[in-house]
Amino acid sequence: TTMFSTARKPALQLCAKRYSRLCTVSLQNFATKKSTPPRLAKYPGATNAPFTPELSFEDGSKHVFPIYHITDADGNILNQADYDLVMDNLTNDKIKDIYKQMVQLETMDFTLYNAQRQGRLSFYMTNFGEEATHFGIAAALDASDEVFAQYREAGVLLYRGFSIQDCLAQCLGTDKDPSKGRQMPIHYGSKKLHFQTISSPLATQIPHAAGAGYALKLAKKDNVAVAFFGDGSASEGDFHAALNIAATRECQTLFFCRNNGYAISTPVKDQYRGDGIASRGPGYGIPTIRVDGNDFFAVYLAVMRGRQMCLDKKTPVLFEFMSYRVGHHSTSDDSSRYREQEEIDFWQREHSPISRLRKYLLNLGLTTEEEEAQLRETIKKQVLDELLEAERSPKCPKDELVMDVYDNVPKHLQEQKAFTDKIADKYPEAYEDAH
Amino acid sequence: MFRPQALRKSVQFGCQSVVLRSLPLRANASTFTRQAGLSRVDHTSGSIELDQHKIDFSKFKNYKPGEYIYKNSEINMDNFQNVEKMNLCTAVNSAMHNAMEEDETAMVFGEDVAFGGVFRCTVGLREKFGEERCFNTPLCEQGIAGFGIGVASMGHTAIAEFQFADYIFPAFDQIVNEAAKYRYRSGGLYDVGSLTMRSPCSAVGHGGHYHSQSVESYFAHTPGLRVVIPRNPVQAKGLLIACIKDKNPCLFFEPKILYRSSVQQVPVDSFELPLGKAEVIKEGTDITLIGWGTQMYVLERVSKMCDEIGISCELIDLRTIMPWDRETVLESVKKTGRCVVTHEAPLSGGFGAEIASIIQERAFLHLEAPVARVCGLDTPFPLVHEKYYLPDALKVFESVKYTINY
């Protein structure tokens, strides 16, 4: 194949003539002898790159990642072959079950968001609009694949068996919270469910997943480590660090970007100027796909295939799930200050992942509006009952204050704890509301 | 006691700011100081001396430390069949060979470690354990730390190298927000106790700003981390193996000037030295001198200089910066009543401040003089003026005399 089109040839020759006779000769030779393979430069930094006499900058616009989907916004199947591949692994009963869990997450979010507004929780973050990504991914992963989440991935935990009580124990820091009330609400973790405890600093978990994926490879495990992160987090240095090291070490790691259009108030046009996050994957030498994050079926099949490729070829894989953050960033955010209500309504009413799956189930006669309304009512009542119970539960004991800093409690920490206890015992009235 | 303002003079000496007083010796000052002819501080024509008494420094210019530096109280060399002469670099290398032999999940990684490392600390690991267990990473410190945390979170042993401690700051977030808090924030569900981060540190004679720094106090302020600095090859090997096996994320700083210059017999087989434990490397009665790493060589020289004028120094190698051994330090200071703490890092916010404050809090009634700190200046680490910058033997010696004579 030629290095450049014939249409460009006269301009190139003109350009070459103007500057170098020698160059003109080589150009003509190169342009006419089409069968001669391009000479590789042999520079160690890019051994596959041929020389070109064409002065040309790349702006990335030649290739825009398409958004892979299987169903449309009305739940109709657009790609029957791929839909069949999904159904080789899932049944409609299972899908209905997953749909119920999506509704459960949405209802729990709605209820706890309002509970925070009443001052019953200190903080909360909803998952509105991104439920299909959570459940599509979770269903396609093995239950023992190690998850490194950002914070908006509660659906993955629910799918693996985390209960509403577990969520509430963490959000309220009760004595049933395995993380002992030390972190802000929604910073979940479960060793049993292979879900590494969430931390607030953004993107730090991405290189962790690279390292974990490497450990899994060396242990010859048929498991992957997965990192979740948003479009905003992908601007952090840790994103770059993680993808580059995962590529060079050929880690068993999947990178899941939830591109929901916003990082708090910052729209993606202030976040990046390339073709989203997906366009960066090939730059690191990582197989990459962009998926409709509101399409459960597309998410499921892409992750299933990508996971297999990761294990077979020992390569990390990057996924960009396109979606829309329907809710506020958090309970500390009022998103009406930086975006239009019509925009939210568009994604919430007709184009949400839950409405799409509902339409699919309705089309097949697998659910009814009444059944679903009943489900929402039941879950809401369950969440409120369990919230009341969690509120009545004792907080995690204050002896935990100095535990787990190190594997043992060093002497200086024992002293600091003893001093704190002494003051608290002397002035109990001052510490009544210490929890 | 009333002390007229006119008799006070606030002066700068080296990097320390002290109030000098032209007053008679206090009744409880040790008699040997008077015998040695030490006088109160004088101040003439803008130049400040802590003491009029000068020693003949030429006697100590070529002093080769070793007597105390290489003394080892914790291991009996007779118990080891194979002992070899190693420098600090080969001792570190030997420790990693032992660790990787004993633990098949252990891996070593960082910039340029595959060919043996720019300081030759990782020589032979790749050949012996394979490219999957000893490998180069991309040039990205936050990636090295983050990757190591991920490896350790799966229970595997991660030994990460930062090429110079000066370049650890890009990984600061991963180390202080992630590694240090991993166990605490998860309630003990997850931890990265099997992570060890090694890095060459401190002055090397010509390292300038970014090949000389001592960064330990940045990390000492972060609960959850262990920070360890050895002074000789046996210490380096024993403490590094202890760090690798410890159930907490450890930062192990290796004074790079000692890589080749510090040489001694080291057991070839694996052994551990205790973490969180200071070592009294020379007992003394008049003053406690506390340091770590390269500064122990300065302190041994100071101790010899002090011997000349009849001051008996107790030398303590802190070894573990955090959590540090308060008991050993306090026991010594309660005995001697005087203390000088010294480190290469800048004075303000340096770990010497932590030690000095704990001493005044816990040994107040035993102190005969303020705890002095002799440290690097509060400047970036300079190139051509390195000699003036460093808390050398003379700065410490003069400070010892001042403290004794207080």
- The pLDDT tens digits for B381-397 are 999 999 999 999 999 99
pLDDT at B36 > cutoff 80: no
pLDDT at A9 > cutoff 70: no
Check residue B72 and give its pLDDT. Answer: 80
Check residue A61 and give its pLDDT. Answer: 86
pLDDT at A6 > cutoff 50: no
Instruction: Tell me which amino acid residue B263 is.
Output: V
Judged by average pLDDT, the poorest of A160-174, B8-22, B108-122 is B8-22
Tell me the pLDDT tens digit for each residue of A371-398: 889 999 999 999 999 999 999 999 999 8
Tell me the pLDDT tens digit for each residue of B287-301: 999 999 999 999 999
Q: What is the mean pLDDT of residues B311-323?
A: 98
pLDDT at A36 > cutoff 80: no
pLDDT at A297 > cutoff 60: yes
Check residue A377 and give its pLDDT. Answer: 94
Cβ within 8 Å, pair B187-A215: no
Query: Between these two residues, A368 and A113, which has the higher pLDDT value?
Result: A113
- Domain positions in chain A are 64-391, 398-430
Check residue A166 and give its pLDDT. Answer: 97
Question: Are A80 and A129 spatial neighbours (Cβ–Cβ below 8 Å)?
Answer: no
Check residue A41 and give its pLDDT. Answer: 80
Instruction: Tell me which amino acid residue A414 is.
Output: Q
- Judge whether B141 counts as a catalytic residue: yes
Nearest to A201 among B173, B187, B226 (CB): B173
Cβ within 8 Å, pair A405-B148: no
Q: What is the DSSP string of B338-387?
A: -EEEEEEEESTT-HHHHHHHHHHHHSGGG-SSPPEEEEE-SSPPPSTTHH
Q: Which of B136, B173, B184 to mutate to test the interface with A (most CBs of A within 10 A)?
A: B184
The interface predicted TM-score of the complex, written ipTM, equals 0.91
Q: d(Cα B20, Cα B227) in Å, to the nearest integer?
A: 35
Cβ within 8 Å, pair A212-B187: no
The confidence band for A144, taking pLDDT boundaries of 50, 70 and 90, is very high
Q: Which of A214, A286, A314 to mutate to test the interface with B (most CBs of B within 10 A)?
A: A214
Distance between A419 CA and the closest CA of chain B, angstroms: 15
Check residue B51 and give its pLDDT. Answer: 64
Cβ within 8 Å, pair A211-B146: yes
Distance between B336 CA and the closest CA of chain A, angstroms: 23
Bridging pattern class, strands B83-87 and B42-44? unpaired
Check residue A105 and give its pLDDT. Answer: 96
Inter-axis angle of helices A353-363 and A296-313, to 10 degrees?
110
Cβ within 8 Å, pair B142-A207: yes
Bridging pattern class, strands A225-230 and A146-148? parallel
Which residues does chain A have within 8 Å of residue B156's beta carbon, measured at their own beta carbons?
Answer: 215, 218-219
Distance between A318 CA and the closest CA of chain B, angstroms: 17
Residue of B nearest to A209 (CA): B150
| Residue where the block lists tokens 């409120």 | A384
Distances (CA, A) of A346 to A109, A149, A326, A361: 20, 28, 9, 21
pLDDT at B210 > cutoff 70: yes
Residue of B nearest to A175 (CA): B187
Bridging pattern class, strands B372-376 and B339-346? parallel
Q: What is the DSSP string of A175-215?
A: TT-TTTT-S-TT---BTTTTEEPP-SSTTTHHHHHHHHHHH
Question: Are A194 and A144 spatial neighbours (Cβ–Cβ below 8 Å)?
Answer: yes
Tell me the pLDDT tens digit for each residue of B219-259: 999 999 999 999 999 999 999 999 999 999 999 999 999 99
Question: How many Cα atoms within 13 Å fall on the side-chain side of residue B264?
Answer: 22
Distance between B130 CA and the closest CA of chain A, angstroms: 11
Bridging pattern class, strands A195-196 and B16-21? unpaired
pLDDT at B75 > cutoff 60: yes
In order of their start, the domains of chain B are 57-65+277-405 (3.40.50.920), 82-267 (3.40.50.970)
Nearest to B213 by CA among B355, B321, B347, B344: B344
Q: d(Cα A230, Cα A235) in Å, to the nearest integer?
A: 9
Residue B190: CB atoms within 10 A of its CB come to 21
Judged by average pLDDT, the poorest of A35-39, B189-193, B254-258 is A35-39
Helix (H) or strand (E) holding A229: strand A225-230
Distance between A234 CA and the closest CA of chain B, angstroms: 14
Q: d(Cα A228, Cα B77) in Å, to the nearest integer?
A: 52
Cβ within 8 Å, pair A404-B247: no
Which residues does chain A have within 8 Å of residue B152's beta carbon, measured at their own beta carbons?
Answer: 211
Nearest to B142 among A237, A249, A400 (CB): A237
Q: d(Cα B120, Cα B9) in Å, to the nearest integer?
A: 50
- Judge whether B211 counts as a catalytic residue: yes
Check residue B125 and give its pLDDT. Answer: 98
The confidence band for B56, taking pLDDT boundaries of 50, 70 and 90, is confident
Which residues does chain B have within 8 Å of residue A193's beta carbon, measured at their own beta carbons?
Answer: none
Q: d(Cα B80, Cα B75) in Å, to the nearest integer?
A: 9
Per-chain mean pLDDT for chain A: 91
Check residue A15 and give its pLDDT. Answer: 41
Chain pair A-B, CB pairs under 8 angstroms? 164
What topology does CATH give the domain A64-391?
Answer: Rossmann fold (3.40.50)
Residue of A nearest to B194 (CA): A407
End-to-end CA distance of chain A: 71
User: CA B366, B348, B197 angle in degrees (round to 5)?
Assistant: 100
Cβ within 8 Å, pair A210-B147: yes
Check residue A17 and give its pLDDT. Answer: 42
What tokens appear for A55 in the block?
């002065």
Question: How many Cα atoms within 13 Å fall on the side-chain side of residue B56?
Answer: 3
Cβ within 8 Å, pair A404-B142: no
The confidence band for A13, taking pLDDT boundaries of 50, 70 and 90, is very low
Name the burial class of residue A373, with classes exposed (0-12), middle (13-18) and buried (19+) by CB atoms within 10 angstroms of its CB: exposed
pLDDT at B9 > cutoff 70: no
Burial B101-116 (b: 16+ CB within 10 A, else e): eeeebbbbbbbebbeb
Residue of B nearest to A284 (CA): B138
Q: d(Cα B375, Cα B378) in Å, to the nearest integer?
A: 9
User: CA B118, B121, B124 angle in degrees (round to 5)?
Assistant: 105
- Asked whether the bond before B323 is cis by omega within 30 degrees of 0, the reply is yes
Long-range contacts of B15-23 (CB under 8 A, 24+ apart): B15/B346, B15/B347, B15/B374, B15/B375, B15/B376, B15/B377, B15/B378, B15/B391, B15/B395, B16/B347, B16/B372, B16/B373, B16/B374, B16/B375, B16/B399, B18/B370, B18/B372, B18/B402, B20/B50, B20/B402
Nearest to A254 by CA among A201, A315, A313: A315
Nearest to B146 among A177, A183, A242 (CB): A242
